Chains A and B, each alone.
Chain A
Amino acid sequence: NAGVTQTPKFRVLKTGQSMTLLCAQDMNHEYMYWYRQDPGMGLRLIHYSVGEGTTAKGEVPDGYNVSRLKKQNFLLGLESAAPSQTSVYFCASSYWTGPYEQYFGPGTRLTVT
């Protein structure tokens, strides 16, 4: 099993450009999550999904959109990137029943100039 994978690993964007981050999991998990990690701020939840076709806002959703068209994939989109979105983005997944242990991907390092 590959677990949770993320594409791309690194990306540099100019302000105003758009991009999509892809998360894939092969553990048949129902729940998927997108976090960002910033120095001094810890990990913060951006959006999450409790199943195919469903998404919900987390703690810091502004400037991001998500889609969960297939159970194994969770996409995070930035429509118009801003320097404040420079961060490391992590995807995670878990089963819908307890103990909800979350498994994380390796991260995507995004720089917006």
Chain B
Amino acid sequence: KQEVTQIPAALSVPEGENLVLNCSFTDSAIYNLQWFRQDPGKGLTSLLLIQSSQREQTSGRLNASLDKSSGRSTLYIAASQPGDSATYLCAVRVQIQGAQKLVFGQGTRLTINP
């Protein structure tokens, strides 16, 4: 059974720092990996999607990497800002019972202190 783990569960850093969020998964047979952002009381916003054949994706100050063989992904946030404060979720797309589905980690709650 695919399991997705995000460590740490919470992270607090001063504004301006570069930081890395971690995501690990137990089965390397994935189609893609997606990083989401969730603000309190809101839905999920897709940040980056990495196909299984890709090593990384970049969007602005965000860079996501994928190492399928080791079952790991990282989300790098450069020059963090208070507006980056949110919960970050990773999810892997896998084949379960004949259909492709997302399996989510429990998220890392990020706080950027001014």
A interface with B by C-beta (< 8 Å): 4, 33, 40-45, 48, 50, 56, 58, 90, 92, 98-107, 109
Contacts and interface: CB of A to CB of B under 8 A. Distances in A.
Residue from B32, B34, B100 having most chain A Cβ neighbours under 10 A: B100
A41 B106 CA distance: 7
A90 B31 contact: no
A102 B42 contact: no
B94 to A, nearest CB: 11
A57 to B, nearest CB: 9
Contacts of B36: 104
Nearest to A9: B41
Binding site secondary structure of chain A: strand
B42 A98 contact: no
Binding site secondary structure of chain B: strand
Contacts of A101: 34, 46, 49
A105 B43 contact: yes
B42 A107 contact: yes
Interface in B34-68: 34, 36, 41-46, 49, 51
Interface string B97-113: 00111101111000000
28 contacts: A33-B102, A42-B89, A42-B104, A43-B89, A43-B91, A43-B104, A44-B104, A45-B102, A48-B99, A50-B99, A90-B43, A90-B44, A92-B44, A98-B31, A98-B32, A99-B32, A99-B49, A100-B32, A100-B93, A100-B100, A101-B46, A102-B34, A104-B45, A105-B43, A106-B42, A107-B41, A107-B42, A107-B43
